[in-house]
Amino acid sequence: MSRFFDLVSKPVRNMGGYSPGVPLQTVTPQVQQKLIKLDSNENPFGPSPRAVEAMGRALAISSAYPDDDCAQLRHKLAEHHALQPEQVMVTAGSTALLGLLCQTLLAPGLNAVTSQRSFIVYSLAVSATGASLIETPMANDVFDLNAIRDAIDEKTRIVFLANPNNPTGTLVDVGIVDNFLARIPGHVILVLDEAYYEFAMHFSSLRGTTHSKSLDYVRQGASIVVLRTFSKAHGLAGLRIGYGLGPPELLAYCARMRNTFSVSSVAQAAAMAAIDDQGHIRRVVTNNADQAIVLTDALSKFGCRVVQTSTNFLYCDLGEGASIVARRLQDEGVSVRPLRAWGAPNCIRVTIGTPEQNQFFLGAVCKIVGHNRAEQIALNSNRT
């Protein structure tokens, strides 16, 4: 402990680590084969077959360094979003861009603001710079942008808004974001994290709502960086590729800070092909919306409170200690995320899987929670 502790930088000393879901490599092969992983919001259908094919071709020439600038992909993304290529920056996952934005904009004495119960990486990326993260309370499981505005001071450089949010799955109303952006001081950059964009977009089209005007803000040149990723709807989480859309000058500063050749050629090839397979995305988001209803209905019948989702997971209040339930679910062969570390000890986050995976999960919940509930009812009736 003491050999290097005094040598490492102060932010490193003060930082905690990230605890991921169950990494498949760490469980035994027998469990690995059977474990249904609903703990990391991964795509249950995997990547597009076209992306897999493109990766095969890229593998054969992987002795060559990748294009550091991801020019081809940036141009394709610019066209896809009707933006200029200079407004696009590709990174090794969108979390890498979170790190770059923090390194570029923050330093000890400065701060960033976000909501409590949001994406854990904001806190890691901020503390790595020695700056502080202010976390405001939520209002009804949604970001409270009034509280965030009140928390902004002259030392604030970044506001993180996960929209929809992880782990609550909730969306901030588009009018409220509009309003917030119009009143944000000039020294603050809004990072609008839209990792679940494709799912949110599909839900909003079903619900007849507008879920985001983020690209309009980018086109207007607002002080905003929109984050998107290939990890979720595109099913490429293991490849590490995502991107940001924002002001060219700011993205160019971030580009100075990035590691050389950080986005692999295989990832770039996969992303190019994944964009072209909109049929795969459609299949993914359609299953997700259908299954969100199935899971929400069933969990509600078990007496759980399920928050309306705009993502590929559900935020669910079990009304009892979620860590124990999660452990028992894992014994049954399905892993979900208990949210004690988010200050929600009775809540889990469960990824929406294939119909078969979801039925398996519900069967396990029935066995565990259903049994507990039956016991409770029996106890109460004995008392009366």
Ligand X SMILES: *Cc1c(COP(=O)(O)O)cnc(C)c1O
Q: Which residues bind ligand X (CB under 6 A)?
A: 41, 93-95, 119, 162, 166, 193, 195, 229, 231-232, 237, 242
Tell me the closest approach of the beta carbon of residue 272 to ligand X, in angstroms.
17
The interaxial angle of helices 322-332 and 355-365, nearest 10 deg, is: 120
Tell me the closest approach of the beta carbon of residue 93 to ligand X, in angstroms.
3
Classify burial at 303, counting beta carbons within 10 Å of its beta carbon; exposed 0-12, middle 13-18, buried 19 or more.
middle
Nearer to ligand X, 259 or 376 (CB): 259
Nearer to ligand X, 237 or 275 (CB): 237
Tell me the closest approach of the beta carbon of residue 206 to ligand X, in angstroms.
21
Classify burial at 38, counting beta carbons within 10 Å of its beta carbon; exposed 0-12, middle 13-18, buried 19 or more.
buried
Tell me the closest approach of the beta carbon of residue 162 to ligand X, in angstroms.
4
Q: Are strands 344-351 and 313-317 parallel, antiparallel or unpaired?
A: antiparallel
Nearer to ligand X, 142 or 162 (CB): 162
Nearer to ligand X, 115 or 229 (CB): 229
Sheet containing 344-351: order of strands: 305-306, 313-317, 344-351, 337-339
Tell me the closest approach of the beta carbon of residue 113 to ligand X, in angstroms.
16
Nearer to ligand X, 313 or 361 (CB): 313
Q: Report residue 21 as tokens.
A: 């879901």
Where do we find the tokens 């897999």?
A: 52
Tell me the closest approach of the beta carbon of residue 3 to ligand X, in angstroms.
32
Tell me the closest approach of the beta carbon of residue 119 to ligand X, in angstroms.
4
Q: Report residue 257 as tokens.
A: 């800070």
Question: Rounded distance, CA 14 to CA 73, Å?
Answer: 37
What are the C-alpha distances in Å from 43 to residues 211, 292, 305, 307, 311? Answer: 22, 14, 24, 21, 12
Is residue 359 helix, strand or coil?
A: helix
Q: Report residue 148 as tokens.
A: 């965030």
Nearer to ligand X, 43 or 111 (CB): 43
Tell me the closest approach of the beta carbon of residue 185 to ligand X, in angstroms.
24
CA gyration radius for the chain? 21
Nearer to ligand X, 191 or 250 (CB): 191
Nearer to ligand X, 43 or 87 (CB): 43
Identify residue 367 by its one-letter amino acid code.
K
* 271 alpha carbon, distance to own chain's centre: 18
Instruction: Name which of 142, 137, 133 is nearest 163 in CA terms.
Output: 142
Nearer to ligand X, 95 or 268 (CB): 95
HSE, CB side, 13 Å, CA atoms: give it for residue 358. 23
Tell me the closest approach of the beta carbon of residue 311 to ligand X, in angstroms.
8
Report the residue number whose CB is nearest to ligand X. Answer: 93
Is residue 136 helix, strand or coil?
A: strand
